[in-house]
Every structure is written in C-alpha cells, then in structure tokens.
Chain A
Amino acid sequence: GKSLTACSEPSSLAPQPGSVGDRGRRPSPLCEPPPRSNQKTQHCLALLVAGEMSSAAYLDTDENLEALISRIEQKSRKIETLLKQSKPVEALKTALEGSPLKTRDERCKSANWIVVHRAMMAIRDIDGMFNSLDTEYYDILMKYLYRGLSTGDRPTCDQCLKIHEKLTERAGLGCILRSLADTVNTVFVVDKSIVAYLQLVWLVAS
C-alpha cells in the first residue's frame, strides 16, 4: 500500500460540515478550534492519523502555533474594543475562550496569559462578574488565577487573591483540585523543572 509519509496529495481528513462523518456536534467555545486548512497542515494531519506523529508534536508544529498566535492577537484586539465599551466580563469570557491549553509552546501560553491578565485587571465588581460568568469558565479561570498569583506583582496578586476567594466560594474546592491535578491542559509549560522555572520567573520579576 501507499505510505502516508510519501503522500503528495493530502486528502481532506476532517469531516466537512453536512457530510456523513460530521455528527452535527458544535465545539465548545473553550476548545481550541482546528487550524486553517492548508497543504502542510493536511500533511501533518495525515501523519497524525497514521500514528507517525504524536498529538503533542502536531500541536507544536509551526503552522498550528502561528495560527494560535494570530488567533490570540485577534482576541486581544476584540478585548480592547470590549473594554472601551465598558464590558469587562465579556472581555474576560473572550480571553478565556480558545485558550491554548494542550500546546507545549511557551510563547502561545504567555501571549494568552497577557490577554487574560489585561481582562482580569479591568474587573472592578467581582460579585457582578460571577453573576454573569458561566460555570464552564470556572476551571480555566482558576488556572489563570494561580498563574497570576505566581507572578509576584503586587496589583496582580491583590486582584487574583480577591477573585480566588470568591471563585472558591462559588466553585468549591474541587475547582482548585482540578487545577492542581490537570497536568495535560495547563496554562504553564509543565515539565520536570517547573519549580526552577517558577523561581526564575520570580527572580526576573523581582
């Protein structure tokens, strides 16, 4: 049979909307949308399906990372617009949606953190925010709160501590435990030297 690695005509592997493979499932707004379809991406998808490329490696291909970075830049512009319209909760929801959790690229995670940080610092009424924030955002918000608490920056830590208290009252201890236990969908790059990394961040910040 023909090897997929030698495939020069990449076929469209993702089910098209309306086709038999598409079961009409709408993706959650918090999931990363699939990257734009181009020849290179199709080739990487073919390798992924054939088992010759791991999903982690696929997520870290240049095409996927560039698509993620451009999506985060678009989000940043949208958030600035929403903040000018005095809609901080909508801005926070937009920042939390489509977060690059599965990728291992630190650039994407840092870029998304900057966007979330901007939206988080604009929140003044925390109780009002939780009244309009859906429960599906709680877990991802808790992860970003812990990232904010690790920065050591006084205004960021003050804001994160206030939100953390209210979020724990609303979501419970399970939300904290899920953020501690989830080593796959992270807002940091988690590896064996994570403690050394956090200490380096601390040294640079101070």
Chain B
Amino acid sequence: ANTLRLYLTCIRNTLEAAMCLQNFPCQEVERHNKPEVELKTSSELLLNPVLICRNEAEKCLVETSINSIRISLKVKQADELENILAKKFLRFLSMRAEAFQVLRRKPVQGYDISFLITNYHCEDMHKHKLIDFIVQFMEDIDKEISELKLSVNTRGRLVATEFLKQFI
C-alpha cells in the first residue's frame, strides 16, 4: 500500500510539472493545429519522455510536448484471467473515448490504456482536476479488475455446482 501511495504521488508530481501546455500551431502545415506529442516531427517541441515503474508489471509512460501530453498506463495483471479481463474492460473504455474526451482510442504499443491531454483540454478544464482524474482512474482500475475477477469466479462456481448436481 505504501508503494502504491509513493507511485501515485510520483506520477501526480510529474504530471503537475509536465502539464504546462500552450497553444502551438503546426510548423509544417499552415492553419493546422496538431498535438505535437503524437506527430514527433520537431524535436525542439518535445520534452524527455519519462517512464515510471512501480514494479516489473506496472508502469506509466509520460510523454510531453509544447501543446500536448500523452500518458500511457500498464496495469497489474497477475494471471491469465486478469489479463483477459483488463484487456476487455480497457477496450470497452477506449471504444467510448469521445465520452471521456482525454482518452485515446488506441493505447500506445506495449501499454493497456493511453490518455492524450491537449492545451484545449487544459483551457476547458482545471489542470488539478485532470490530474486527479488520472490518478483516481489508476486507483479504481485495480479495484474494478479485482471485482470483475471475483464475480467471474463466483459465477463459475455457481454454474459448475448447478451443472454437476444432475450427476449426483
């Protein structure tokens, strides 16, 4: 629990420092405004990406640029069942990315879910609330997956009990 608190504190502090975004029109194409962290065409607009690992299984990649920040998360998956549940649940969320606004439709390769926050999001929403959302999401995702695993095991046990009763 202490490691989780330190991990989330580290991510919160990093995001507070990194989320200094401003409007920056595209340098290559006029009248275009693109999140530079996705394109990576101009190295002077990008900051150093930072990888924060809690352990071998959980990590968070924070990539920042002048007008956007991308946060990619890899959640803990202890066994095959948690792997499947996490994949399905996070895919469910990613497909509804428009409702979340800051969610990316496809996670970055090697990660389970990605957020893309642009300067427009920072203008419309409070920065500290965005960071609270990300950190709260990380706390809740573990609980959700544990609950899903519990309910799958419970359902499986009930179904197996009922099925095998006919052979008694």
Taking Cβ atoms with an 8 Å cutoff, the residues of A that contact B are: 146, 149-154, 157-158, 161-162, 164-165, 168, 173-174, 176-177, 179-183, 186, 188, 190, 192, 194-195, 198-199, 202, 205-206
CB distance from B90 to the nearest CB of A (A): 19
A206 CB contacts on chain B under 8 angstroms: 56
A176 and B40 in contact (CB under 8 A), knowing A194-B48, A198-B51?
no
Interface contact tally, CB-CB below 8 A: 87
Contact A161 B56 (CB under 8 A): no
A173 CB contacts on chain B under 8 angstroms: 13, 16-17
Contact A190 B20 (CB under 8 A): no
B166 within 8 A of A: no
B50 within 8 A of A: yes
Contact A180 B18 (CB under 8 A): yes
Q: Identify whether the interface residues of B are mostly helix, strand, loop, or mixed.
A: mixed
Q: Identify whether the interface residues of A are mostly helix, strand, loop, or mixed.
A: helix
Taking Cβ atoms with an 8 Å cutoff, the residues of B that contact A are: 3, 6-7, 9-10, 13-14, 16-18, 20, 40, 43, 46-56, 59, 61, 63-64, 109-110
Contact B59 A183 (CB under 8 A): no
Distance of A26 Cα from B130 Cα, bound (Å) = 46
B43 CB contacts on chain A under 8 angstroms: 183, 192
Choose from A153, A162, A164, A192 the contact partner of B40 (Cβ within 8 Å). A192
20 pairs from A and B in contact (CB 8 Å cutoff) = A146-B50, A146-B51, A149-B10, A152-B59, A154-B55, A157-B55, A158-B3, A161-B6, A168-B13, A176-B13, A177-B17, A179-B48, A180-B18, A180-B64, A181-B48, A182-B48, A183-B48, A192-B43, A195-B61, A199-B109
Q: Which A residue sits closest to B62, measured CB to CB?
A: A180
CB distance from B128 to the nearest CB of A (A): 12
In addition to A168-B13, A188-B48, A202-B110, 6 A-B residue pairs with Cβ atoms within 8 Å of each other are A152-B59, A161-B9, A165-B13, A176-B14, A195-B49, A195-B61
